[in-house]
């Protein structure tokens, strides 16, 4: 997936990413509008439907501001700081009604796409809650974030979620860029291992760990893998975002593993903290 730079120096998102952002925002808005009670709890979360929708509306606004080049400090990238920033923002943003939040989720997704369309190819990379990233990766981040919370909302209102193989593929630039940053230093300490991660029907990447450092390589890994893990793409994203227990995915046949050090496979999800 590549960014396109036009002859006039302007810039465009990789194919399909902009439409996926727009479609996902619209589908989430439909879920929010279909909620019978915005005070109902979101399964597996401390938030209500109204709070989850409010968080998405504010997060989309944050991403739109970053894409436009505005500075928006929001935690330091650690799970605790992001949770604190989320709580603080929800405390000062009182809207919990379905229609205004649904409209804001869509409008801010559109504002993000508009800001990206105006971006010049040589412009500075925005500083996000998870570090600097170019606008292509930032767009992948926005999509990933919406899909995670969209999945939660779909569970809450008992409707089908919108994660599919194509959208997972569009999330991969963000996922690969952020993995070293969200590595768990306690879990990775002293581990020397080479993983090959394959997604059914597409992508592959390598993850190497040595001396407490994590290196992620798109495509086939340069070293021979100690452990190869084959995953259903949707299961991969849900596991990575902390929405699916890896053992449940294994029991469902959505994860297979092999290699010279097969015991490394179950350890892989514990090496990272969901962003």
Q: What is the CATH number of the domain that holds 108?
A: 1.20.120.450
3-state helix/strand/coil string of the chain: CCCEECCCCEEECCCCHHHHHHHHHHHHHHHHHCCCCCCCECCCCCCEHHHHHHHHHHHHHHHHHHHCCCCCCCCCCCHHHHHHHHHHHHHHCCCCCHHHHHHHHHHHHHHHHHHHHCCECCCCCCEECCEECCHHHHHHHHHHHHHHHHHHHHHHHCCCCCCCHHHHHHHHHHHHHHCCCCECHHHHCCCCEEEEEEECCCCEEEEEEECCEEEEEECCCCCCCCEEEEECHHHHHHHHCCCCCHHHHHHCCCEEEECCCHHHCCCHHHHECCC
Is the pLDDT reported for residue 224 higher than 60?
yes
Q: Is residue 203 part of a domain?
A: yes
Q: What is the mean pLDDT of the chain?
A: 91
Q: Domain ends where: 109, 138, 166?
A: 166
Tokens of 64: 């739109």
Q: Domain ends where: 103, 137, 166?
A: 166
Is the pLDDT reported for residue 7 higher than 50?
no
Q: Quick one: pLDDT at residue 187?
A: 92
Q: How confident is the model at residue 49 (pLDDT cuts 50, 70, 90)?
A: very high
Same domain, yes or no: 95 and 14: yes
Q: Quick one: pLDDT at residue 255?
A: 95
Total number of domains constituting the chain? 2
Q: How confident is the model at residue 118 (pLDDT cuts 50, 70, 90)?
A: confident
Q: pLDDT tens digits for 176-195?
A: 999 999 999 999 999 999 99
Q: Quick one: pLDDT at residue 121?
A: 60
Is the pLDDT reported for residue 36 higher than 60?
yes
Q: How confident is the model at residue 202 (pLDDT cuts 50, 70, 90)?
A: confident
Q: Quick one: pLDDT at residue 4?
A: 52
Same domain, yes or no: 16 and 93: yes
Same domain, yes or no: 31 and 150: yes
Q: How confident is the model at residue 119 (pLDDT cuts 50, 70, 90)?
A: confident
Instruction: Name the residue range of residue 258's domain.
Output: 185-271
Same domain, yes or no: 19 and 134: yes
Q: pLDDT tens digits for 73-107?
A: 887 778 888 889 999 999 999 999 999 999 999 99
Percent of the chain past pLDDT 90, that is, above it, reads 77
Confidence (pTM):
0.93
Bridge partners, 208 (sequence order): 194, 215
Q: How confident is the model at residue 196 (pLDDT cuts 50, 70, 90)?
A: very high
Choice among 7-21, 31-45, 225-239 with the minimum mean pLDDT = 7-21
Choice among 202-206, 228-232, 234-238, 256-260 with the minimum mean pLDDT = 202-206
Same domain, yes or no: 48 and 152: yes
Q: CA 98, CA 105: separation in Å to the nearest integer? A: 11
Is the pLDDT reported for residue 9 higher than 60?
no
């Amino acid at each position: 997936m590549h960014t396109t730079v036009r002859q006039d120096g302007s810039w465009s998102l990789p194919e399909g990413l902009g439409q996926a952002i727009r479609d996902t925002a619209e589908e989430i808005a439909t879920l929010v509008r279909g909620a019978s009670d915005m005070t109902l709890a979101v399964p597996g979360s401390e938030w209500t439907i109204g709070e989850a929708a409010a968080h998405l509306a504010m997060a989309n606004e944050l991403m739109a501001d970053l894409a436009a080049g505005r500075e928006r400090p929001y935690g330091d990238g650690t799970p605790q700081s992001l949770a604190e920033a989320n709580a603080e923002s929800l405390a000062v943003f009182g809207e919990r009604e379905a229609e205004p939040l649904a409209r804001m989720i869509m409008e801010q997704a559109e504002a993000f796409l508009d800001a990206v369309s105006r971006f010049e190819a040589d412009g500075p990379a925005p500083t996000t809650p998870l570090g600097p990233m170019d606008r292509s990766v930032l767009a992948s981040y926005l999509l990933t974030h919406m899909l995670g919370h969209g999945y939660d909302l779909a569970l809450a209102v008992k409707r089908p979620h919108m994660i599919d193989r194509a959208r997972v593929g569009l999330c991969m630039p963000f996922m690969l860029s952020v993995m070293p940053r969200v590595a768990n230093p306690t879990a990775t300490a002293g581990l020397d291992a080479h993983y090959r991660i394959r997604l059914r029907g597409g992508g592959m990447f390598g993850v190497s760990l040595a001396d407490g450092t994590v290196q992620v390589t798109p495509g086939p890994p340069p070293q021979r893998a100690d452990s190869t893990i084959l995953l259903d793409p949707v299961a991969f994203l849900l596991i990575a975002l902390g929405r699916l227990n890896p053992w449940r995915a294994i029991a469902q046949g959505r994860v297979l593993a092999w290699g010279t050090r097969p015991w490394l496979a179950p350890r892989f999800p514990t090496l990272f903290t969901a962003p």
